[in-house]
Amino acid sequence: MSNRLLWISDLMLLAVAVVWGTSYGVAKIALAFYPVLGLLALRFGITFLVLSPSLFTLRGMKASTLVGALGSSVLLLGILMAETFGVSMTHASNAAFLISLCVALTPLVEWALLRRRPLPVEWLAVALSLAGAALVSGGVSTPTLGDALMLLAALLRALMMCVTKRVMRDATLAPLTATAIQSGMVALGSIVVAVVFMPAQWQPLPALAGHGAFWTSIGYLVLACTLFAFFAQNFAVKCSSPTRVALLMGGEPAFGALFAYAWLGEQLSAWAWLGGGLMVLASLLATVPGFQPRIRARPDHLDAHPHVAPNEMVSAQAEVRL
């Protein structure tokens, strides 16, 4: 892929880190009016409706690609469920640090599934990101069940990134279509879980009149934190590597802390500021030329031969770092 397109995807991912960093405070406002599963169903349901015209491309898609897209959607649902209930069962500092472990787990999962060994500079960026997350969050205090769920969410994030990378190799699957499929599955899954297991989470929607803060929050969560963010992630992982994507979005906790300081009036320690700087530095380090391995073409006929040696199984897109 061209360097120009790679830089565009990098900038989009940095924007996602900023947007998702602000999403916690915005979601907190919305959750004051509506329960968690109902909010997830509403947020992703609206996104699915907006993107539904992109589903017309499904007619020419391979069955294996569709199955892969549905699989990544199930992983996303699992991530959101684990995060949602994990946050409610542990300290915020624990949750922030543990979810950041996705940055460290992604290179390992990519190595195992996609057969791409992480570069030394990637491990340096991972170490900086984890150190920064520990300083921002204060590390992990007494472990709880919620901590286990957050760790599971981090692992599922890494796994989803690599599964999406493999699925997006099919040129017939556009990033918008992948986002629509993922949104529809998350909305449907949230509704099923709420109705079957947690009926208290399924309630009438707040009226438009008198609930401006709620609907404004929903608009931001749908347009910025879901539609744009997941499209950007799918677009970037199509032409980059899962590790690079994870590192560029690894500054999310730092931007979240900055948003809490500037918008919500929360105070940050000097250590938190230092940690945020390390996380941003790690994200920027992911853009250096050393993260861009030499591109090799992947002939179409290799897709039909799973026995081909791993060093020959290189994507038509750049198998870039993460």
Residue 318 counted as domain residue = no
CB atoms closer than 10 angstroms to residue 271:
12
Residue 315 counted as domain residue = no
Round to whole Å and give the CA distance between 132 and 280: 9
Residue 168 counted as domain residue = yes
Residue 210 counted as domain residue = yes
- Number of structural domains, the chain? 1
pLDDT tens digits along 116-136: 888 888 888 888 888 887 787
By C-alpha distance, which of 254, 258, 237, 255 is closest to 246? 237
pLDDT tens digits along 198-242: 999 999 999 988 899 999 999 999 999 999 999 999 898 887 888
Residue 152 counted as domain residue = yes
Which of the pair, 273 or 319, is modelled with greater confidence?
Answer: 273
pLDDT for residue 22? 83
Residue 17 counted as domain residue = yes
Which of the pair, 133 or 92, is modelled with greater confidence?
Answer: 133
Residue 268 counted as domain residue = yes
Q: What is the pTM of this model?
A: 0.78
Task: Determine the structural domain holding residue 19 and report its residue range.
Answer: 3-294
